[in-house]
Amino acid sequence: MKIAYKNSTLEQVLTGVKAAASATIVASFALSFGFYEPPLPTRLLAGVLTGMLFIFVGGKMIRFFNAQSRREYLVANWYEIPMLMALVVILVGAGRWFGRTEPGQIQHWAIALYLIVDVTIKFFMVCVRLAATGKDPTRVLVASFIVLILTGACLLMLPKATPGRASLPFVDALFTSTSATCVTGLAVKDTGADFTLMGQLVILALIQLGGLGIVVLGAVLALLLGQALSVRESAAIQDLLSEGTLSRINRMVVFVFIATALIELTGAVALLHLWDDVPGRVLDVHHQWYYSVFHSISAFCNAGFGLFGDSLISYNRCWEVYLVICPLIVLGGLGFGVLYDLGGVILDRTLRICKRSIHRRCPVFQQGPRRMWLQTKIVLAVTVCLIVGGMLALFAFEKLTGQGPAARDFSLLDALFQSVTARTAGFNTVNIAALSDAGKFLLILLMLIGGSPGGTAGGIKTVTFVVILMAVVATLRRREDVEIFNRSIRLLIVRRAITVAVLFVVALFGATLGLCITEASSHFTMMQIFFEVASALGTVGLSTGITPSLTTAGRFIIILVMLTGRLGPLTLLAALAFNAKPVRYNYPDEAIVVG
């Protein structure tokens, strides 16, 4: 909801002051709680945060009186009243109701938490509004990812994010932050051993924010706080979610939030007893819940980050890995649009069955059953084919061309898990470096195809792959239109699919050439470098083990490739094409020979 103000100049001044105050709050929060020994006196930092509190509260009061409709202002910012009331209760009750030890520390924590929550909410809201201001919301999407990556890198460089008192080097922090935000999973550090609880929580937050997107989460937050999305904001979210109909954007955004919460919670509960199955790893109930939540979020967001140095190799004979982790990966890779359609179809079928059992002539049967969208049919069909086909092919390759104990012990369940996780999840139950070259090449193909549009997965996407494949089939059959499930695909979609695939191939070979130059003295094989680039571009996270050994230049190349893979080459080019305008003329055509 956009609030109209009487004095626009005053509003602009308040916006600038609040932006400067927000930056000061973030810096003060990091200095207060990110160091074992704060570099500045605690009283000074507490005083700065208190001053920022007065600035924030004063700005809210000025905006209230400056608003043309005070009622609209209160409706749009109703949540700030209970937040302020809770803060006042804590500040007054510190030393009385909440313990008598160090009331100043309780007050310091309360003020800092209130301010950082307020800044976070406003940041999400601003991202949604910025996405709706221009014709192309992809620029805001790219900018939000860059801001999130840099913020995450700064947080991971805080001393409390890593064991000991030494800060993480900037390159390692930037690499880890990019990998988490782009839900890739490639790591130069062991997440479970080289990061403290604070560092792990930062990584987990980056995974969740990067998997769903800041703009989408901002829309979710706006709707949860009772703020209706404007038409331009809905159009921006529609573009980012790859949704076809503007009228159901609000329902889609709410569905994204509810589905994500339910799926991740269900996955965490199902994984709770997984950690008892490996001898020597005894975890108490708190650690079991934490490990379950972490791996559930990482799996659903297709991130591949784990708290064990060997990923899930130690658990490759545990049933939860295949019956919980695999469905989480698949659900995250289907895309929220497909999940929304499946939910609607299942609900419609369930209601029909229930009403048929009650009354056979119910009015609901005057309409036919809800049909699946073409997008859903394509995604489900291709997902099943890639999982089953990848599993059988990988199993056959390892048994026919693999050597050593790894090939002999390679099971059909291992092939199933790697076929699922290669499509952008990044977990592994076998040593990837021990696979045959044929097996690695198959994984590269699966990684480049990736998941489906509108989800947390990467790659060129399953729908893009099918459109290109059916375009080839249509050419061989001498058909003018590309046809899928008795539906014709528009030429614009076919051209877009070909463009995406070509750009991915260009990025793949360009980055591979770059790594061949930067890692010339590292004695990596061509297959190792090619696999690493494909994993980064597909935002998968599988590795043959060379990631920690990359040079600084090589790590920067992989950082750029991960960002390109998460956002998509076409999205990045569209965001950079500031002055691109459609032409209103055509040149004369002339026949040429191809093929």
pLDDT tens, residue by residue, 152-164? 999 999 999 998 7
According to the model, what pLDDT value does residue 131 have? 66
Rg (CA), the chain: 26
Q: Are the beta carbons of 327 and 271 closer than 8 angstroms?
A: no
Task: Work out the pLDDT band at 546, boundaries 50, 70, 90.
Answer: very high
Region 443-451: what's the mean pLDDT? 92
According to the model, what pLDDT value does residue 506 have? 93
Task: Work out the pLDDT band at 242, boundaries 50, 70, 90.
Answer: low
Q: Is residue 1 part of a domain?
A: yes
Domain that holds residue 104: 1-133
Report CA-CA distances (Å) from 321 to 260, 410, 431, 570. 19, 16, 16, 35
Give the mean pLDDT of the chain. Answer: 84
Residue predicted with more confidence, 1 or 304: 304
Name the phi and psi angles at 242, rounded to 5. 60, 40
Residue predicted with more confidence, 571 or 13: 13
Task: Work out the pLDDT band at 576, boundaries 50, 70, 90.
Answer: low
Task: Work out the pLDDT band at 38, boundaries 50, 70, 90.
Answer: confident
Rounded to an integer, what distance in angstroms lies between the CA atom of residue 102 and that of residue 82?
25
According to the model, what pLDDT value does residue 200 have? 93
Q: Is residue 23 part of a domain?
A: yes
Q: Is residue 120 part of a domain?
A: yes
- Per-residue pLDDT tens digits for 164-223: 777 899 999 999 999 999 989 899 999 988 999 999 999 999 999 888 877 677 777 766
Q: Is residue 469 part of a domain?
A: no
Rounded to an integer, what distance in angstroms lies between the CA atom of residue 338 and that of residue 330?
12
Whether the model clears a pTM of 0.75, i.e. scores above it, the answer is yes
According to the model, what pLDDT value does residue 226 have? 63
According to the model, what pLDDT value does residue 248 have? 64
Region 86-94: what's the mean pLDDT? 80
Q: Is residue 405 part of a domain?
A: no
According to the model, what pLDDT value does residue 512 have? 95
Please state the domain count of the chain.
1
Rounded to an integer, what distance in angstroms lies between the CA atom of residue 18 and that of residue 21?
5
159: Cβ contacts below 8 Å, ≥ 6 apart: 34, 35, 36, 165, 166, 167
Q: Is the pLDDT of residue 43 over 70?
A: yes
According to the model, what pLDDT value does residue 240 have? 60
What would the two tokens of residue 464 be? 């893009």
According to the model, what pLDDT value does residue 99 have? 57
Task: Work out the pLDDT band at 286, boundaries 50, 70, 90.
Answer: confident
Residues 12-40 as b/e (b if ≥16 CB within 10 A, e otherwise) read: eebeeebeebbebbbebbbbbbbeeeeee
What would the two tokens of residue 189 be? 């550090």
Rounded to an integer, what distance in angstroms lies between the CA atom of residue 164 and that of residue 506?
42
Which among 538, 541, 543 has a CA at the least distance from the CA of 529?
543
Rounded to an integer, what distance in angstroms lies between the CA atom of residue 250 and that of residue 265?
23
Can you tell me whether residue 159 is helix, strand or coil? Answer: helix
Can you tell me whether residue 484 is helix, strand or coil? Answer: strand
According to the model, what pLDDT value does residue 282 have? 61
Beta strands in 276-423 (DSSP E): none
Task: Work out the pLDDT band at 237, boundaries 50, 70, 90.
Answer: low
What would the two tokens of residue 507 be? 């990025």
- Per-residue pLDDT tens digits for 317-327: 888 888 999 99
Q: Please state the length of the chain.
A: 595
Best-predicted range by mean pLDDT (117-126, 142-151, 291-300, 417-426): 291-300
Percent of the chain with pLDDT over 90: 30
Name the phi and psi angles at 65, rounded to 5. -75, -20
According to the model, what pLDDT value does residue 256 have? 83
Strand partners, 484: 487
According to the model, what pLDDT value does residue 110 have? 85
Task: Work out the pLDDT band at 368, boundaries 50, 70, 90.
Answer: low
DSSP string, 229-293: PPHHHHHHHHHHTT-S-GGGHHHHHHHHHHHHHHHHHHHHHHTTTGGGSSTT----HHHHHHHHH
In the chain, DSSP finds a helix count (H) and a strand count (E) of 25, 2
According to the model, what pLDDT value does residue 527 have? 93
Which among 196, 158, 168 has a CA at the least distance from the CA of 29?
158
Strand partners, 483: 488
Q: Is residue 536 part of a domain?
A: no
Q: Is residue 491 part of a domain?
A: no
According to the model, what pLDDT value does residue 267 have? 93
Task: Work out the pLDDT band at 101, boundaries 50, 70, 90.
Answer: low
Q: Is residue 22 part of a domain?
A: yes
- Per-residue pLDDT tens digits for 224-234: 666 666 666 66
Best-predicted range by mean pLDDT (32-46, 114-128, 289-303): 289-303
